[in-house]
Each structure stands twice: as structure tokens, then as C-alpha cells.
Amino acid sequence: MGLFDKLRNEFIDIIEWPDQKTDTLVWKFPRYQNEIKMNAKLTVREAQQAVFINEGKIADVFQPGMYNLQTQNMPVMATLKGWKYGFDSPFKADVLFVSTRQAVDQKWGTKNAITLSDDRFGMIELRAFGTYAFKVTDAGKFIKEIAGIEREYTTDEIGGQLKSIIATRFTNAAGSGNIPIEKFASNLEGLSSIIMEKLNADFDNYGLTITNFLVENVSMPEELKKEIFEYSRLNKIDMQKLAQLKSAQSIEIAAANEGIGGIGAGLGAGIGVGNMMASTIGQATAPMQQAAGAMPPPLSVPAQYFTGVDGKQAGPFDSTQIQQMIQSGVIKRDSLMWKAGMAAWSAASGISELTPYFDAAPPPLI
């Protein structure tokens, strides 16, 4: 470098980032050994912020506009340097330009399956992936928390960090139990909005904002999807209806596999399942029938029984259904039963009105 160039570059009097690349988030102004001249001109273009760092600490942050660098518009730097009288002396500082454009079409996904616990469907494993867009809203926070002081920082470099953060936050949000499992199965738009809101609550700490977040696909076992869609046909989510559906499925499987009592028992269980499913559908549609036809109430209400099937409460069942379940072997003498008016659960053989059903049932095959 010649003497003329050395003198010319002794002080910097124009600071700007004219060539803003779409994939560059942070660009460090090449000050080298030069000092910035007081009253130098700073140009911060639209979709940029400029951060001045003095001795490793963030000093002043400038929004879009043109500035003559003076102690009046550099309050923090002036305090750090101790320019009590506004001397026009040069100073040294790292200047980082930060892009506030949207970074679009970023990919995210869960590397491992997420395990969720649902009160209705039990333990569930699922995976998800999609796209998102983000932008820097607070350059100071972003440099402090993520970027640091580098010559250049791109979306590829931050991509890995953000993907990990998003996957972690998605897992936490999904596992919190506040998101209905039906949204994972069918309502991806609603799920995307919920996750985006939860992500932005955390991303504000990094000086970032998620401007768009899409869950493009959620994969889960097909049998679980089938069960969710099947249950969705039962008008609306209702724990009792789900218990009845589960009980009917369990009884149907028991009748097909156990073979208690031979063909007759299986047939009896099948009839029982049909009656139970009809009862379930009847309960779901009863309010509509009453509204449409103004049907009078029945003269008497038969006893309704509850029982335990596979460790789960099932019912209610009327006496005809109970008789069929006893004959098929689904309900045994020691099976727990309960009906309105009973103080606690009792063995089926201890309920007097059910005793004749056990006497009429054939003994098990030896």
C-alpha cells in the first residue's frame, strides 16, 4: 500500500452495506486497522440494522436511515468512550450489519419419533416435518444470543441451530398435552398456528420472529389414524362413547378368538355387540329424535349396569345385554359390576337379579 492509500484509509468516513446478499444475515464492516472518523456518514438501508460493538460489548443499534455519527446520536458509545465535551476524535468499533429480511422456505423436521400420552388413545408415537420463515427483529439480541462477532453469518449457518430449537419446541408443545390429538391427524392448519404461537414466545429471546410456520405432514401408525377417524364419527369427543366403542371392540375380539362355549357363544357375543353398538348409536341420536318427533318418555327406565372389561369401565348395558355377555363368558361370577343405587362395585354373583343368568349359563368346557 502506498503512502497516499495509507493516508486516504487512515480514517473511515462512509459506513454502509451496499451489496446485501439474500442468504447473508450478518455482515461485518471491514474496518481492519482503520479508525472511524467522528461525523462519519452511516447509511442503514431498508431491511437492515447496524450494530456498533465496543470492546466486545454491544453499544448502539441503528435502524434504517442516514446518520452523521456524533455523540448526540451515539449515546451509549459516547458514554463508553467518555466524550464529555463532544470531541471530534476518531474511535474504533466493530460495525455489524444485520439483515431483517424474511428468510423463507426453511425446512424443519423431527429426527426421532415424538412420544405423546393421550387420555383417550394412550401412548402415541408420531413424526412431523414442514417449512418455516423467519426474520431478525432485534439485531442486538440476535448477535448476542446466536450470531456473535463474525465477518459473515448466513442462513445455512443458523439453519442447524434453528432446526434444533424448532424440533425441541415442537416436541415440548406437542407433549404438553394441550393440543388435541385430532389436530395432529387432520387439522394441520390449526396445528401450525398453535405451534407458531408457542415458538414465537421463545424466539423473541433470540431477537427473531417466526413469520410463517407450516406443518406439512404428521405421520403416525395407520391403526391409530383409523381409530381417530372412526371415533370422530361419533358426533363429538365424549369419554363415555369412547369407552363404549372400546368395550364393543374388545368383546368382539374376545368372541372371535377365545371361542368360549363354541359357536353358540360366539354368536351370542356377536348379538351382544350388535345390541351394544345399536344402544350407543341410539344414545347419540336420541336428542335429535326427541327434537324432531317430540316422543314421550318411556313409562319405566330399565336398570343400567356397568362392568369392567380389560381393566376398563364399560357400559351402560341393559339386563338383556348383561345376560348375553354372561352366557358368552365375557362376564364371569367374579367380574366387577355396578349400577345406580349401589354404594360400591360388587362381584356379579353378589347382585341378586343377575344370579339366575349364571344358573342358566352352561359350565365351561373341560
Integer angstrom CA distances of residue 186 from 92, 102, 176, 194, 225: 57, 29, 19, 14, 9
Same domain membership, residue 239 and residue 187? no
Using an 8 Å Cβ cutoff, are 130 and 108 in contact?
Answer: yes
The total number of structural domains in the chain stands at 3
Instruction: Report if residue 130 sits inside a domain.
Output: yes
Same domain membership, residue 114 and residue 89? no
Instruction: Report if residue 77 sits inside a domain.
Output: yes
Same domain membership, residue 246 and residue 213? no
Same domain membership, residue 282 and residue 169? no
Instruction: State the chain's mean pLDDT as an integer.
Output: 74
Same domain membership, residue 117 and residue 94? no
Same domain membership, residue 171 and residue 95? no
77 contact partners, CB below 8 Å, separation of at least 6 = 52, 54, 59, 60, 71, 91, 93
pLDDT one-digit tens code per residue, 113-152: 877 777 767 777 888 889 999 999 999 998 888 767 667 7
Phi, psi (rounded to 5 degrees) for 220: -145, 165
pLDDT over 70 at 167, yes or no: yes
More confidently predicted of 277 and 329: 329
Kind plus residue range of the DSSP H or E element containing 340: none
Instruction: Give the separation between CA 17 and CA 48, rounded to whole angstroms.
Output: 9
DSSP β-ladder status, 57-62 and 48-54: antiparallel
Q: Which three cell numbers stand for residue 134?
A: 423467519
Instruction: Report if residue 52 sits inside a domain.
Output: yes
Using an 8 Å Cβ cutoff, are 124 and 181 in contact?
Answer: yes
Whichever domain contains 163, its CATH number is: 3.30.479.30
pLDDT over 60 at 345, yes or no: yes
Which residue, of 224, 258, 274, is where some domain finishes? 224
Same domain membership, residue 176 and residue 264? no
Same domain membership, residue 247 and residue 262? yes
Same domain membership, residue 346 and residue 280? yes
Same domain membership, residue 211 and residue 133? yes
Instruction: Report if residue 295 sits inside a domain.
Output: no
Q: Which three cell numbers stand for residue 221?
A: 401408525
Strand partners, 115: 125
Instruction: Give the separation between CA 307 and CA 244, rounded to whole angstroms.
Output: 11
Instruction: Report if residue 18 sits inside a domain.
Output: yes
Same domain membership, residue 112 and residue 82? no
In the block, cell 363354541 appears at 262
Q: Quote the pTM value.
A: 0.54
> Which structural domain range is residue 112 located in?
103-138+145-224
Would you state the pLDDT for residue 260? 45
pLDDT band at 264 (very low <50, low <70, confident <90, very high): very low
Instruction: Report if residue 230 sits inside a domain.
Output: no
Q: Which three cell numbers stand for residue 323?
A: 345376560
pLDDT one-digit tens code per residue, 28-60: 888 766 688 888 899 999 999 999 988 888 888
Instruction: Report if residue 229 sits inside a domain.
Output: no
C-alpha of 45 from chain center:
37
Same domain membership, residue 353 and residue 239? yes
160 contact partners, CB below 8 Å, separation of at least 6 = none
Using an 8 Å Cβ cutoff, are 303 and 339 in contact?
Answer: yes
